[in-house]
Structure formats: C-alpha cells, structure tokens
Structure 1
Amino acid sequence: MSLATDVAAPTTTHRMTVLRLGPDAAQFCDDAVVEEVPVAIAYNGIVHAVMLATPDDLEEFGLGFSLTEGIIADAEELESLRVVEGCDGIEVRMEIPMERFMALKGKRRSIAGRSGCGVCGVESLQAIARSGQPVPSGGRLSVGAVERALPRFAERQTLHRATGAAHGVAWVNAAGEILAVREDVGRHNALDKLIGWLVRTGVDRRGGFVLTSSRASYELVQKAARLGISGLVAISAPTGMAVRMAESCGVSLAGFARGDRLVVYSHGDRWV
C-alpha cells in the first residue's frame, strides 16, 4: 500500500477573540475552537462520501473508514492512498481492486455526512441493522486496566482540552497502557482513525479494548466488530441499539467508566 499526502501540516484549531460573560463581569479574551473541514472519500477517482472531520491523521482515517464500512476486507486491498488539499476541503484518494469498486454500487452513501452522525447517507434502515461477523472473545478484560487508563486518557486528549469540542478514542492494552489516542469532531471519525492506526502498526489486539470519551452508539460497536475488537468501554452511556448489536456481535460493551467502577451491558462473563 502506497501512502502519500500533499496537505500541509493540519490546522486542527482556530484562535479567535470571544466574549466571556459572567454574573459580575464581561471580558474579551483569546480562545480556541476545533476545526472541521469537508473530507471527500474517493475510490478509483469517484467520490463515495463527504464527511466533516478534523483535518489530521487522514491517512489512518481513509484506511479505517474503508475497513469499517466493509469497502475492503483487509489493508492489502488498499492499493494506494493519497491525501490532497483542494479549494473547498481535502480529498482522500484511494485505489482499490475493481471488484471492490464495483461492489460500492450496492453501498451508496449520500454525498454529505455530518460530523456527529454515523448513519448519514446509509441507503436503508436494513443497512443500519446489519450485524458484523461474530467477534472472538479476545481474552479477559480487566476493570483494573480501565482504572489505570482513565487518568492518562484525559491527559492525552489535547484537542479536547484546548477546545472542549472533540471526541477521543484510545487503544488500551491488557495492562492498562494507552498505546494511541485519536481525536475528531465526529466520534465515529475518531474511531476510524484509531482503527487505521491499529491496522497500520499491526498491534496485538488480544486482551485490549477501545476506550471512548463519548456515548457508545451503535456505529462505534459496528466499527469495532468489523475489526474483531472484542471490548468497547465508554465514559458515558450506551444506546439500546448499541447494546443489542454488541450482544449479537460478541463485543463486550461497558459504560459509565469511573475509576474502578463501570457498568457492563453485554458479555459480562469476560470481565475480571
């Protein structure tokens, strides 16, 4: 797989003057807001979707998106990837085998996807309900590992600390060590970036899990299941659809992670 980028160092935040209002005073001061830009996902010269995303780690985003959307079956099928900057946004140009490209006709998405929505452009409700392949158990999951990871996770969400407007996801190994963190205005975009990193680096996923700062919605479970990730832990709550999908796919889903406490919603027998 050939990877290249023609985009300058990404600008993920924008500085601006804001007016802070309080009960006793009004003050102008400097602040940062997170950037989101249109990112066109193109295969073999044809744009498949346009997502609003934070403009960093886009090579990983393109790879992760291709895998979690089922456009390719493994990274070897991605023949090349090039990130190109245009007047109105950024294009991730990828080349895939012709049989995979032809199969996209049955997986059409609308031309635009909002940053906070994982269903935008899915053609039918049946497509939303599709379940992934059953996930192997992947080893035991540890409450202690979650407890060790949580403080480090907060420290490493630099974009969120600067702006308060970015979702973060981390890969945590069985010992509770955070190996990577990715952030984006869209929680599903952040997970695609992390999955791209996991596949590119070949990290051993046994006994590890994804830790997310957002609620656990169905698309996060679906994306994790497609890559055989057996554990997903959220700081916030899951949705009912996410729980049902996790149960059917073999993903152990937990929420409300707080120190040494969490709530397990599916496959609780894997936890120690």
Structure 2
Amino acid sequence: MSGAARPLDLLRIGADGSRATIARDIAREVPVALEFDGIGYAVLMATPEDLVDLAYGFALAERLIDRPADIVAVDEHAAEQGLLLRVTLAPGIGARVVDRVRHRVSDSSCGLCGIENLEQALRPLPTLDALCRADDAAVFRAYAALRDHQPLNAATGAVHAAALCSADGQIRLAREDVGRHNAFDKLIGAMLRAGLGWDGGFALLSSRCSYELVEKAVLSGCPLLATISAPTELAVRRAAEAGLPLRVLVRADAQLAVPE
C-alpha cells in the first residue's frame, strides 16, 4: 500500500470548535496513460497499484482484446506528470486499436466521454449465457465480508473495491482504486492473468451501478452484478438487454433491490 497512499497532516475541527493536528493516510490519484502498440489511447486517473491488472481489464472492456494471450507485454514507465503503461498486443490485434481510435476525439477515463458518436458509445452487448448459482443470502454474505478485503479504504476512506465472489458468497479476489471503473478493470484484469473464471459466482462493487460497470460485467462474462448503491436507468436497461441479473442497494440499511 506504500505507493497507493501518502501520509498528510490535517487540521481536525470538532463540532465544539476544538482544533487538533492529526496525521492521516491519503489515497494517491495519478494520471495513468495507456498506449497500445505505440498508439496513445486513454489517460485514466487511478491509484498507482495493480496497474498491469488495470491494463488487461481496460483492454477487455474496450474490446481491444478477447483473451489474455492477446497481450504480449505491459511495461510501466514513470512520466513527468504520472505513469505510462505501454501495452504490446499480439500480431493482428492492433487493427482494433486503430479502428477504435478513429471514433475517439479525446482521452478520458469515462467510458462515454471522448467517443465521437452514439453508435460507438452504446455498441451492442453480447447476450450472457453464464448462469449464476448464488442466492440472495450469498450476496449479503459477501457484502458482510467486503470490508476485510479493503485495506486501502480502511486506511484512507477514499477508494472503491471490486470483488470476485463465489456462489456461496466467499470473496475470492478483490481490487481497490479511487475510481470505481478502475477497480472493476483491475479485478477483471487480475482474473484474466490468473486464469480465474466466475464459476457461477458474481461481482460485488462498492459503488453505484452505472452503465459502464454493467458493460464491463457483460464483456467479462459475469453471471450477476451486485452493487452497494443504486443503479442508473441506462444501467438497468443495458443489463436487461444483455441478460445480466442485477442486485443493487446491497447494504443493511437499504436491503436488497432487484430491478424488474
């Protein structure tokens, strides 16, 4: 966690007017540029850890790759203002980058910003054929355990988590980042690199359910997506189109909601 957080002295002001200096770990957020086969593709604001996982997950979400073998290498370089990830793709894959770049007018961590037209922004999603074997009790079981898999958030209170959960609600793997999209990309990338599948389980995210997260779940073959906060209308619609089951508002105070 040493590279993901930095200590900072803060002035704590109490409701009674008291003042005291305290030391607190602050989550780092740095620009991370992604370059595919020498082509600058995007700049993400991200937590500087698990960046190779981020590159794999981001590439899959952008439909630049289909499988881990489509990436030959990921090299990390320090830049003046942040970090650079140089991704080398397998022969024949680079054409996808060129085609996708034609439709991008700027670099952004947002899945929609920088896309030239609506057809590219909301490309059709594949229909899921994966079956989730988890019941709702398993979703709550994973929720209860998520805090134990968030060491960076425990230290800073400022980052999101994405977890791979088994069908019985055990958390098998988790990743953290200041960005909810990045956390999910890191998780998916880590799964790709380790050869892990969803195996009838589900994803649990410590965020709202946005359309970009739905798309990442579908493209990774996730059988069910659970989020701690509410969904957007577009997220619900895109999930329904792809056959992705959702569980939202997964927390004790809100209980569990299933979009109809």
SS of residue paired to 1:194: helix
SS of residue paired to 1:205: coil
Displacement after TM superposition at 1:98 (Å)? 4.8
Identity %: 37
CA contact (8 A) 2:106 2:115 kept: no
Q: Following the alignment from structure 2 to structure 1, what is the Cα–Cα distance between the partners of residues 107 and 32?
A: 10
CA contact (8 A) 1:131 1:222 kept: no
SS of residue paired to 2:65: coil
Is 1:215 equivalent to 2:208 in the alignment? yes
Pick closer, same or farther for the CA change 1:110–1:167 going to 2, 3 Å.
Answer: farther
- The one-character-per-residue Cα deviations of 1:105-159 (angstroms, maximum 9, x if unpaired) are 3312455325xx3323222222222232111142333111112111210122121
Q: Following the alignment from structure 2 to structure 1, what is the Cα–Cα distance between the partners of residues 49 and 210?
A: 23
The code of the aligned residue for 1:112 comes to D
The code of the aligned residue for 1:262 comes to L
Pick closer, same or farther for the CA change 1:10–1:119 going to 2, 3 Å.
Answer: farther
SS of residue paired to 2:93: helix
- The one-character-per-residue Cα deviations of 1:14-60 (angstroms, maximum 9, x if unpaired) are 21111111222121111121101111111112211111110000111
Which contiguous aligned blocks of 4+ residues in structure 1 show a shift greater than 3 angstroms?
Answer: 109-112
Q: Which residue of 2 aligns with 1:143?
A: 136
Q: Following the alignment from structure 1 to structure 2, what is the Cα–Cα distance between the partners of residues 58 and 103?
A: 22
SS of residue paired to 1:146: helix
Is 1:23 equivalent to 2:15 in the alignment? yes
Q: Following the alignment from structure 1 to structure 2, what is the Cα–Cα distance between the partners of residues 110 and 49?
A: 11
The code of the aligned residue for 1:16 comes to L
Q: Which residue of 1 aligns with 2:6?
A: 14
Q: Following the alignment from structure 1 to structure 2, what is the Cα–Cα distance between the partners of residues 243 and 35?
A: 32
Is 1:153 equivalent to 2:150 in the alignment? no
Q: Which residue of 2 aligns with 1:113?
A: 108
Pick closer, same or farther for the CA change 1:104–1:204 going to 2, 3 Å.
Answer: closer
Displacement after TM superposition at 1:102 (Å)? 2.4
Is 1:70 equivalent to 2:88 in the alignment? no
Q: Following the alignment from structure 1 to structure 2, what is the Cα–Cα distance between the partners of residues 10 and 161?
A: 14
Write the mapping of 1:27-106 to structure 2, written as runs, cut at 5 A: 27-106=20-99
Aligned residues: 256
Query: Which ranges of structure 1 fall in alignment gaps of 5 or more residues?
Result: 1-8, 267-272
SS of residue paired to 1:245: helix
CA contact (8 A) 1:159 1:183 kept: yes
Q: Following the alignment from structure 2 to structure 1, what is the Cα–Cα distance between the partners of residues 149 and 92?
A: 40
CA contact (8 A) 2:106 2:113 kept: no
Query: Which ranges of structure 2 fall in alignment gaps of 5 or more residues?
Result: none
Q: Which residue of 1 aligns with 2:259?
A: 265
Is 1:246 equivalent to 2:236 in the alignment? no
CA contact (8 A) 1:43 1:93 kept: yes
Tell me how large the CA RMSD over aligned residues is.
1.8
CA contact (8 A) 1:85 1:91 kept: yes
- The one-character-per-residue Cα deviations of 1:60-102 (angstroms, maximum 9, x if unpaired) are 1111111111011211111222122222211111111453322
Name the stretch that deviates more: 102-111 or 173-182: 102-111
Q: TM-score, normalised by structure 2?
A: 0.92
Name the stretch that deviates more: 95-104 or 233-242: 95-104
Q: Which residue of 2 aligns with 1:193?
A: 186
